[in-house]
Amino acid sequence: LPVPPTPISPFLGNGAEEGELTYENVQGSRPGGTEETPSAPKEDTGSKPWLKGATLAVLTACIVLLAAAVGLGVRYWQVSGQLQRALQDHTAHSTALAQRIGLQEGSLAQKEDSLRQAVTELSSTREAHRKSQEATRKTQEQLREANRSLEALKQEKLEREAELQQALHDSQEATEKAQEQMQEMEEALKGANRSLEAVKREKDRMEANLHQAIFCLQTDCCPDGWTLFRWKCIWVSQEKKTWQKSREDCEKRSSQLLMPKEPWEQWEIWGALVRMQKNLQHPNGYWIGLHKIKEKKNSILFWVDGSHYEGSEQLMQNQYQNCIKVNQGQLEPGSCYTPRAYICERAASPTTL
């Protein structure tokens, strides 16, 4: 890098010891070949300290600028070298990559040729195999034609035996099917008879309930404090007791704990409770006549009349909640030792008056 020239101080002195140029120092020889003797420097004691400081500052600035220029030049040279090396590496990498791509393309072309050749050979092999199979079929057909006359009697004998066996088998199947159909018809007839009897019993029960309901609408069929609900009288306690105490109290009243065996009865009894008591005093539910009894290793739900519970199995999940309550129209398990309100039921009858 070129070194910047040292600036000439704007202040020119007469002293030779400071190395400054004066008009006389730069002036050439006068015409005529004679030189004048330089006059003696004049002493200027008032400006020397200030002039030295300015000169030193200018020299320092020049040195700093020179160092900065050298540093920038070195940095430029380093960055240029790095860029050139990166360009060379990139060029080499691109060349190697292009060579690898070319090699892979060549290998791929060879593999395609090999694959086409293999496909051609496979087609030829398939054609040869097909021709071989066709020749084999023709040979087998010729053999069958040759043996057909010899096996005619044997085949006829086998056919007659097969026909006889088939006839026996068909006869047995027909007999078994007829017996199965007869059994199915007997079962269907028994089922129809059972259904008819059940329908008759239900009809008789509904007629009796209807007559009793009509009669009870005309006369009161429930004792004082009891409410007629679906041809039965129900009584709702105001105090809370355990399940066993609730059962005993209902028995003392010539009744038993409520048994809503039909799913819709659970909703209806809760609706009746809401109608009877607009503000239910026992929102946690009421004891009913359903509880778990342990038989051998299993627990089974029983109604208080001894019949089995045939509803959902969700009531069996908690082994510590063995008594059932009705709450919000749903059956829920609960601890038998928790005091709750309870509901008693008894048959509606005019004899209870």
Q: How far apart are CA 111 and CA 206, in angstroms?
A: 90
Query: What pLDDT, on the 0 to 100 scale, is given for residue 211?
Result: 67
E strands present in the chain = 227-229, 232-236, 256-257, 286-295, 298-303, 323-327, 330-334, 341-347
pLDDT at 281 over 80: no
Specify the pTM. 0.42
* Residue corresponding to tokens 């006369």: 219
The Cα-based distances of 176 to 168, 172, 179, 183, 186 in angstroms read 12, 6, 5, 10, 15
Res 65: pLDDT: 92
Contacts of 6 (CB under 8 A, 6+ apart): 58, 59, 62
Q: For residue 150, give the amino acid letter.
A: L
Domain 226-352 CATH assignment equals 3.10.100.10? yes
Q: Given this model, what pLDDT does residue 270 score?
A: 77
C-alpha 182, offset from chain centre: 54
Q: Domains of the chain: which residue ranges? A: 49-144, 151-218, 226-352
What pLDDT, on a 0 to 100 scale, did the predictor assign at position 241?
A: 96
Q: What is the DSSP letter of 231?
A: T
**What is the arithmetic mean of pLDDT over 182-190?**
88
| Segment (H or E) for 33 | none
Q: DSSP letters along 128-190, please?
A: HHHHHHHHHHHHHHHHHHHHHTTTHHHHHHHHHHHHHHHHHHHHHHHHHHHHHHHHHHHHHHH
How sure is the predictor about 321, in pLDDT bands with cuts at 50, 70 and 90?
Answer: confident
CA–CA distance, 85 with 324 (Å, rounded to integer): 89
